[in-house]
């Protein structure tokens, strides 16, 4: 008694490029993973557009003036007099501009595409910068945060951020904790 096996259908030949699966340990995957950073979802950013720009600016400037009260008093931000810095948080569709008035307060300035200095980046990169989780040089060198305009003003802002004594900021412990927690949550959720 002989057993015969059923005939199997002939499968089409696939191009070799379709048969290659990248190794999870390949250098290209490691590079890709290291260049992908969380982006705030557009659906969650939509409500930010509903809030009037004036309200955004007022909240941001009031917060900055409160937090930076001592550095402002000491003249650490005097380089901003008669200079305007425009900031754009791209994934939130949020723009604001600021300058320093004669009363040593940060005030609203007109946002401009070609300002004396334009800072652009996603919320995640600004959180990394504010929490000091990532070095400002790294963020700017990797072009995750972009700076355009006056080189001198850009260096002043960067040096201020790098040299700012965190303990001179009001509520620094609570803010530091909240920022680091926000980065952690952001990385897990997005």
CA 108/CA 126 separation, integer angstroms: 19
User: Quick one: average pLDDT of 137-152?
Assistant: 94
Q: What is the per-residue pLDDT across 66-81, written as a single tens digit (0 to 9) for each? A: 988 988 999 999 999 9
The confidence band for 165, taking pLDDT boundaries of 50, 70 and 90, is confident
DSSP 1-64: ----PPPPPPPPPPPHHHH----TTSHHHHHHHHH------HHHHHHHHHS-HHHHHHHHHHHH
User: Quick one: average pLDDT of 100-120?
Assistant: 91
Output the pLDDT for position 35: 59
The confidence band for 8, taking pLDDT boundaries of 50, 70 and 90, is low
> DSSP secondary-structure letter at 165?
-
Place of tokens 């000491």: 74
CA 77/CA 101 separation, integer angstroms: 11
- The pTM of this model reads 0.76
Q: What is the per-residue pLDDT across 11-42, written as a single tens digit (0 to 9) for each? A: 555 555 444 444 443 333 343 344 578 888 99
> DSSP secondary-structure letter at 186?
H
Query: Residues with Cβ < 8 Å from 75, sequence gap 6 or more?
Result: 104
CATH of 41-189, one of 3.30.1050.10, 3.40.50.2300, 3.40.640.10, 3.40.1190.20: 3.30.1050.10
CA 114 to chain centre: 20
């Amino acid at each position: 008694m002989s057993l015969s096996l059923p005939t199997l259908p002939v499968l089409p030949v696939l191009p070799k490029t379709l048969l290659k699966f990248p190794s999870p340990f390949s250098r290209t995957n490691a590079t890709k993973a290291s260049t992908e950073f969380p982006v705030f979802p557009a659906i969650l950013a939509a409500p930010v557009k509903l809030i009037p720009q004036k309200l955004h600016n007022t909240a941001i400037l009031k917060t900055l003036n409160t937090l930076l009260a001592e550095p402002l008093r000491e003249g650490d931000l005097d380089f901003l007099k008669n200079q305007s810095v425009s900031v754009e948080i791209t994934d939130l569709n949020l723009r604001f501009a600021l300058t320093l008035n004669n009363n040593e307060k940060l005030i609203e300035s007109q946002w401009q595409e070609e300002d004396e200095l334009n800072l652009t980046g996603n919320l995640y990169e600004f959180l990394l910068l504010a929490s000091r989780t990532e070095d400002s040089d790294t963020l700017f060198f990797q072009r995750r945060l972009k700076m355009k305009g006056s080189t001198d003003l850009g260096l002043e802002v960067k040096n201020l951020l790098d040299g700012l004594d965190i303990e001179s900021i009001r509520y620094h412990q609570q803010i530091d904790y909240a920022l680091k927690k926000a980065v952690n949550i952001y990385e897990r959720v997005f």
